[in-house]
Structure 1
């Protein structure tokens, strides 16, 4: 055998070739894993970008939808209140068609009386203490007391 053949089949040479082949396989598998990882990372990034775009695209319409639903609820409440007021006004209109109701209102609010009736006005006796002929307890007309009160209120320190 020639010396080159011996080197080719020697243990050191075989180990060297075997190591190179293993290193090449490891390198190939690492590049495949990295390629697979980078593809998954790219896909994940694309998916994240699409999801963010959808969220941004749908955020404004959803906000408008929620806002409009609130407006609709408010308008329905106003409609219900208006319907209740219309019903109250219809009742009041029906009552105003009754002559007895009108007479009662005239007596209560306008102090009206029928011919032949005698009206009485009752005053509180304690309300008139200290007054005689439009003058207060001081003996001065009421309007002078009023202006004195206005002048006192205008002064600082009172």
Structure 2
């Protein structure tokens, strides 16, 4: 028995037994981790699938909601602009009911003068020649412009067939 005891307590034997025990523990923990990992992977895949489905299902309604909110904001802005324009038109209408305002505007726009007044038209002396050239026919009578256009049309060569 001494040999067996010696063999049992030898360093090589102890290391071999320790290595086998360690290998068994590592193997058991790896299989547990793999089992856990496979369960977590399945759960994670299911959770991912559910989340992706929710995102896809909610994407279109959310886009519609945001689009409709933008449309509503545009409509409200246009409504406020229309209200402001209506107020401005009401103010203008009330002003035009005042005879003094109407008379002032008519005299400005149409260059009317009251009996006994003298009307003046002031021409800017700094007006350049290009501006006058742009006006062209405005300096002539309308019938002169008409006859000039007819003369030019009459003198134009006929289009060839």
Under a length normalisation based on structure 1, what TM-score does the superposition of the two structures give? 0.59
Question: 2:4 corresponds to which residue?
Answer: none
Computed over aligned residues only, the root mean square deviation of the Cα atoms, in angstroms, reads 4.2
Deviation at 1:97, TM superposition (A): 0.8
Deviation at 1:86, TM superposition (A): 0.4
Question: 2:48 corresponds to which residue?
Answer: 48
Pair 1:30–1:106, CA change in 2 (3 A): closer
Deviation at 1:82, TM superposition (A): 0.4
Question: 1:79 corresponds to which residue?
Answer: 79
Q: Which has the higher helix share?
A: 2
Size of the alignment, in residue pairs? 130
Structure 1 residues without counterparts, runs of 5 or longer: 1-10, 12-17, 128-132, 135-140, 149-158
Q: Give 1:16-95 correspondences, 5 Å limit.
A: 30-95=30-95
Deviation at 1:122, TM superposition (A): 3.7
Pair 1:143–1:91, CA change in 2 (3 A): closer
CA deviations on 1:26-84 (whole Å, 9 max, x unpaired) are 65654443222111110001111111111111111111111111111111110110010
Deviation at 1:96, TM superposition (A): 1.1
Deviation at 1:94, TM superposition (A): 0.4
